[in-house]
Amino acid sequence: MMERKQSWNDLLTPARQDELEDLYQKVIGISSKELRTEEKPFFLKAAETRSAEQGISAEQLLATYSERLRNSTYPTADCLTTEEVQAFVSGKHLAEDRIQHVQNCEGCQNLLEAVEPSPETVLELMEDVRVIAARVSGRTRAVAAGSRQPNAEALHNLRAAALFHR
């Protein structure tokens, strides 16, 4: 149990700047300095927005969250595993005993709420995919029209784009 809690605590420990810089370089291919276009970090803007809704300062909100995290007993040995969360996200149903646990565990409830996108988000993502598929489809058709035998990737893109036509 302690090993599992430690792995979660590792995720909650703030990353060092050099770790973040390495991650930016690896994932995005540019440094965070090149990426920065705003003076305030996103988390601080989000905290300011949320604290304004609650009528408290951003510093107070962040201090409250930090204290809650330090005093948290989540996750316990009974909490959902990453595999169970992934299965849930993939549309699989949780076993009855796991459902009962989630009903009594605020941490697991919050986790499942966070990983399940709202209907509005799903609609936005679907529209984005339609737009991208339409762009790819247009390019792929032009490539396919220029050759007598379109390659497998071109055919795959055509089929993918067709799924999202209205």
Decide if pLDDT at 165 tops 50: no
Cβ(140)–Cβ(158) under 8 Å?
yes
Decide if pLDDT at 156 tops 60: no
Decide if pLDDT at 23 tops 90: no
Instruction: Determine whether 157 is exposed, middle or buried from the number of CB atoms within 10 Å of its CB (0-12, 13-18, 19+).
Output: buried
Cβ(135)–Cβ(108) under 8 Å?
no
Quick: pLDDT tens for 64-98.
Answer: 999 988 998 899 999 999 999 999 988 899 999 99
Tokens 């792995």 belong to residue: 7
Q: Can you count the helices (H) and strands (E) in the chain?
A: 10, 0
Tokens 């005093």 belong to residue: 71
pLDDT of residue 99: 94
The distance from CA 114 to its chain's CA centroid, rounded to whole angstroms, is 9
pLDDT of residue 166: 37
Could you tell me the two tokens for 108? 């697991």
Could you tell me the two tokens for 164? 């999202």
The total number of residues shown for the chain amounts to 166
pTM (two decimals): 0.41
Instruction: Determine whether 42 is exposed, middle or buried from the number of CB atoms within 10 Å of its CB (0-12, 13-18, 19+).
Output: exposed
Q: What integer best gives the mean pLDDT of the chain?
A: 78
Question: Letter for the amino acid at 88?
Answer: F
Longest dimension (CA), the chain: 66
